[in-house]
């Protein structure tokens, strides 16, 4: 049985980790870490865990926690883990970080977009970017640190990855229009996220400046074999959870001057996802919807060719708290310890 500690257990992603791990046959939560609720009973904070969790919240002492568990999930704000991580901790315990501290390999890029100084850049190189469907072979039992991908980035990357990797689209023409439920902003009280502020309204935010942009560019750049630049615009929609990404790119003509066919693009998706447990390529003409993945670790993807413009419209949907955060983190834990990758993650999407 793997002993688990969670720092940030009272945030939305942390609570989702608890929900998933309670149904994991190989894991036991030993530490419910929360700076805001120390000594308070966890089930008093999240009453859905009444009679399921009987434990008080502890602090965020990583040094103490590292000696008590086998793996730590840090569902914390940017900068926390980078500020406390050291070699002694990593020698004792494996860490799966749900923040962005170790996702971006270039320190200057991280500091530019996140507006903070990176406190432990010496660990960036060894951190594995934990997008399981793409980097599964890099996560081994010897891995010490995993950078769990962001919610928007997971959806955006997986939606376009096969066509970028196979050279079927020009990645520098990629435009990503993404929409997220309000839980993506976290549990902290913020005026822009109040009910009256978001209900019956939609808005774009972080236009040209959203911090997931360089993460998307870096990872799709690896697939393209070159540095790329994309347009990424997120939107807030009045729902609890879910992300829908609609992406547009110009297709690359074949030697005979024609554009790739539906069958050729579909073959690219099948090449990478046909055997993937959690990526579902939908039938022709069926568009992904957030309601069909809610509460699950699935990503639904599909595409439509616009023959008039020579572009392809790619679409992806996931639950931002599961595959976009906690579910993917548990998927990475399963790989770290040699478990079945789907252990604890076989939840059927909730509907209605």
Residue by residue, DSSP assigns 23-74 as T-TTEEEEEEE-SSSTTSBHHHHSGGGTTT---B-B---HHHHHTT-SEEEE
Does an H or E element contain 179, and which?
A: strand 175-180
C-alpha Rg value of the chain to the nearest Å: 20
Contact 294, 351 (CB under 8 A): yes
Q: Which of 86, 72, 79, 6 is nearest to 42 (CA)?
A: 6
The question of whether 155 is a catalytic residue gets the answer no
Contact 36, 10 (CB under 8 A): yes
Catalytic residue, candidates 57, 132, 151, 155? 151
CB atoms inside a 10 Å sphere around CB 282 = 17
CA 116 to chain centre: 21
DSSP state for residue 209 in the 8-state scheme: T
Cα dihedral 99, 104, 105, 108 in deg (nearest 10): -110
Catalytic positions are 151
């Amino acid at each position: 049985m793997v002993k688990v500690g969670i720092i940030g257990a009272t945030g939305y992603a942390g609570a989702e980790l608890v929900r998933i791990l309670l149904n994991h046959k190989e894991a036991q939560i030993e530490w419910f870490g929360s700076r805001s609720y120390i000594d308070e009973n966890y089930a008093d904070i999240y009453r859905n865990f009444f009679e399921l969790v009987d434990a008080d919240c502890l602090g965020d002492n990583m040094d103490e926690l590292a000696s008590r568990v086998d793996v730590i999930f840090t569902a914390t704000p940017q900068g926390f883990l980078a500020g406390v991580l050291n070699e002694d901790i990593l020698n004792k315990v494996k860490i799966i970080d749900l923040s962005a501290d170790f996702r971006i390999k270039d320190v200057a890029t991280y500091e530019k977009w996140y507006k903070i100084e990176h406190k432990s850049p010496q660990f960036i190189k060894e951190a594995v970017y934990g997008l399981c469907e793409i980097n599964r072979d890099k996560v081994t039992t010897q891995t010490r640190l995993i950078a769990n991908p962001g919610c928007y980035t997971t959806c955006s990357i997986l939606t376009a990855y096969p066509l970028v990797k196979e050279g079927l689209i020009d990645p520098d023409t990629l435009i990503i229009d993404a929409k997220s439920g309000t839980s993506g902003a976290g549990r902290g009280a913020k005026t822009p996220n109040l009910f009256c502020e978001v209900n019956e309204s939609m808005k774009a935010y972080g236009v040209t400046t959203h911090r997931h942009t360089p993460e998307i560019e870096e990872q799709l750049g690896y697939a393209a074999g070159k540095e790329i630049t994309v347009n990424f615009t997120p939107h807030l929609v009045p729902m609890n959870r879910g992300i829908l990404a609609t992406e547009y790119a110009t297709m690359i003509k074949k030697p005979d001057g024609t554009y790739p066919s539906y069958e050729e693009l579909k073959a690219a998706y099948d090449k990478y996802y046909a055997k993937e447990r959690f990526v579902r390529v939908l039938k022709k003409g069926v568009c992904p919807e957030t309601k069909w993945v809610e509460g699950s670790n699935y990503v639904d993807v599909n595409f439509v060719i616009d023959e008039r413009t020579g572009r392809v419209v790619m679409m992806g949907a996931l639950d931002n708290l599961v595959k976009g955060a906690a579910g993917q983190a548990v998927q990475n834990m399963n790989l770290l310890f040699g478990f079945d990758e789907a252990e604890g993650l076989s939840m059927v999407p909730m509907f209605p």
